[in-house]
Amino acid sequence: MNKAMPHHAESPAEADLAPRADHASSAAPRTTAAAAAASAKAPRAAAQPAVVNEIALPSTLLDITPQQAGTQTLLRGLAILEAAAAGVRDLRTFGAALGTTRSTTHRLVSSLVQARYLRQVQGGYLLGPKLIELGTIALEQMPLTAVARPHLESLAEQTLDTIHLGVRDGDDVLYIDKIPGTRGLEMRSRVGHRMPLASTGIGKAMMLDLKPELWQSLFDASRRALASVTFKPDNRPDAQTFMQRMTNYAAGGYTFDLEENEASIRCVAAPVRDASGAIVAALSVASTIPYMSLERMDELIPVVQREARAISEELGWRAPQPTTRRIKR
C-alpha cells in the first residue's frame, strides 16, 4: 500500500501514508457533558455520590456567574441538559453534577420534562423532542448549511461517497450536515457529532491558516481528548509526522484523514472561506479503503476543492482559482 505508483512521482496520499498492517481501530465517541453552573452556591448533600469529577462542564457555562441577573436556575437547567446528552440518566447523578439537593434537582428535571426538553422513560431521563425541534430550526437558520447543501449533493452524486460539512467549535469540529454514501457503508459521524479538530480530515482543513504552534497545540489537545480511546492498529501520526503533513496540506489547500480517526476510513477535505477570506467551515468526502485508494484520494483533491471553492464564492469569497500542488515528501 506504500509503494510508489510507477507512472508518476510520489503522490500526496502515498507520501502521507506510513506502512501499516490491517486496519481495525476502534474509536469511541468522547463524553462531554455538564456539571452545571458551579455557580450554584448551595452546599452539596453529604450523601450524594462523588461522581462530579467524571463530568466535564462546558466552558460557556463555567464562564457565567449567578450574579448576572438570576442566571443560576437557567444555568442549572442547561447543565442538566448537557449532562443528559452525555449519558446521565438518574436524579442522583444529576444532583451530584449540579451540587443540588434531591428536591431541587427533582424540581428542575420535572420542569424540563413538562416543557419537553427532557422525557421520562423507564430507568431515567432522556433528551426530549423540543430539542429536536429547536435543533432543526437552528440548522435551517444557519446560512452556511443552506448555501452548501446543493454543493454537498453534487459532490455526493459525483463520488457516491459520504459527504460531511463541519464548522469549528473550540478545539472540536462540529458536523452540521451529512449525506450518507450509496455504497451501503455506515460511519459513526452524524449531524451534531463532535471530534477533535486534529484527529479528522475535515478538522485539519479548518486548521490550514493557523500558525504551526497552534497546530501543535491542537494536536496535543486531540491526544488528550482521545487518550482513553483504543486504536488497533494505531494509525495516528506522531507529532513530527503530523506537523510535516500539516505543512504540506497548507501548501496544497487540502487535507487527508488516513485512518487516523475511525477504522479503515479515509477522507479528502478542503476548507470553506467567507467574504473576508477566513476559513469558516470545511467539507469532506469519506469512504472505506476498498473505495478510497491512495490514487483515488489524489484524484479527489481538485474535485473536493472545486465544491469548497463554489461554496466560498457564494459566501462572498473571491480569489484566483488555486492549483493543487503535488508535493513530494
Second-level CATH architecture of 52-134: Orthogonal Bundle (1.10)
For the beta sheet containing 162-169, the strands, ordered from the edge strand earlier in sequence to the opposite edge, are 194-196, 172-179, 162-169, 279-288, 265-273, 255-258
Give the residue among 312, 324, 321, 306 at the shortest CA–CA distance from 273: 312
Say how far apart CA 220 and CA 204 lie, in whole Å: 13
DSSP letter for each residue of 128-146 = -HHHHHHHHHHHHH-HHHH
**pLDDT, position 262:** 82
* Cell numbers describing residue 138: 437552528
Residue 40, helix vs strand vs coil? coil
Whether domain 142-314 has CATH 2.30.30.90: the reply is: no
Give the residue among 325, 323, 245, 309 at the shortest CA–CA distance from 277: 309
Torsion sign across C-alpha atoms 276, 279, 281, 283: positive
**pLDDT, position 33:** 38
Packing angle of the helix pair 72-85, 91-98 (nearest 10 deg): 130
Task: Check if the beta carbon of residue 25 is closer than 8 Å to that of residue 310.
Answer: no
- Residue with cell string 456539571: 35
* Tens-digit pLDDT string for the chain (329 aa): 333 333 334 456 655 554 343 333 333 333 333 443 444 444 444 444 434 444 554 444 544 555 565 688 899 999 999 999 888 999 999 999 889 999 999 999 999 999 999 999 998 999 999 998 998 887 777 789 989 999 999 999 999 999 999 999 999 999 999 999 988 777 777 888 899 999 999 999 999 999 999 999 999 998 888 877 776 556 788 999 999 999 999 999 999 999 888 878 999 999 999 888 999 999 999 999 999 999 999 999 999 999 999 999 988 898 765 555 544 43
Domain residue ranges in the chain:
52-134, 142-314
Say how far apart CA 34 and CA 111 lie, in whole Å: 18
Integer angstrom CA distances of residue 27 from 21, 33, 109, 284: 17, 19, 32, 19
